Amino acid sequence: MAVTMYGIPNCDTIKKARTWLDDHGFSYDFHDYKKAGIEEAKLEAWVAEVGWEPLLNRRGTTFRKLSDADKADIDAAKAVRLMAANPSMIKRPVVERDGPLMVGFSPADYAAAFDGE
């Protein structure tokens, strides 16, 4: 199974997810937003699959520092533009694999998703 994890290496949630995958023997590629960025087309595909709400991290400092105008009237297209310009606003991690896109980390969710792989 091909697995790609998207995120920022120094994020605590990314570290937990990577540790879980490593401890359970799963190999994966890591896409570092800080080094490689993220294409709008990739974000649009994710939004089409899971919606923009689960992907946009509204609790982080990057989002909170936005102007009120940028925070207002967010729709899918605006969310994609914001996340492409500020990848740290994408909830982490995002995992592409054979199966549904995974957003965020929970040991129970990972166990259920990767069980039997």
The residues assigned a catalytic role are: 11
Give one word for 41, left, alpha or beta, with left for phi > 0 and alpha for psi -120 to 50: alpha
Q: Which two tokens stand for residue 83?
A: 């996340």
Give the Cα separation of 30 and 93 in Å (integer): 10
Placement of tokens 């166990």 in the chain: 111
The whole-angstrom separation of Cα 105 and Cα 92 is 7
Q: How far apart are CA 57 and CA 9, in angstroms?
A: 17
Chain centroid to Cα 29, Å, comes to: 14
